[in-house]
Amino acid sequence: MQALSIPTWIIHVSSVIEWMVAIWLIWIYGEVSRNPAWRMLSLGMLPALVSAMCACTWHLFDNAASLEWLVTLQAAMTLVGNITLCVAAWWIWRSARLSAALPVKDQESV
């Protein structure tokens, strides 16, 4: 664990925990609002969580050369996560536009 200082570890771990809480809260919001687009956002956040966990794992083992594949996996998950977050944001935007276009009486059934 010499790769990072204690304050840096605190930031890394708290960021991962914060991201998990955000995923959970967004999922709950999607259920409460009955808008599946928000649940898709929470699912779209998962690759970024995997990316963060790869980074923490690699640092936990002192950036071991045998675990360098985690760096590649982290980069791939960051790319996938950015794409899924972009798609989820588009889905939320599209959902809002469709809801605004519906007559008021039809919005109750959505």
Residue 49 located in a structural domain: yes
107 pLDDT band, cuts 50/70/90, is: low
Residue 89 located in a structural domain: yes
Residue 1 located in a structural domain: no
Domain total of the chain: 1
pLDDT digits (tens, 9 = 90+) for 23-74: 999 999 999 999 999 999 999 999 999 999 999 999 999 999 999 999 999 9
Would the CA dihedral through 77, 80, 84, 86 be positive or negative? positive
Residue 12 located in a structural domain: yes
DSSP letters of 46-97? HHHHHHHHHHHHHHHTTT-GGGTHHHHHHHHHHHHHHHHHHHHHHHHHHHHH
Q: Determine the pLDDT at residue 99.
A: 84
Closest CA to 58 of 41, 75, 37: 75
- Intra-chain end-to-end CA distance of the chain, in Å: 50
Residue 97 located in a structural domain: yes
Kindly tell me if the per-residue pLDDT of 102 is higher than 60.
yes
The whole-model pTM stands at 0.84
Q: 103 is in which domain, residue-wise?
A: 6-107
Q: What is the DSSP letter of 109?
A: T
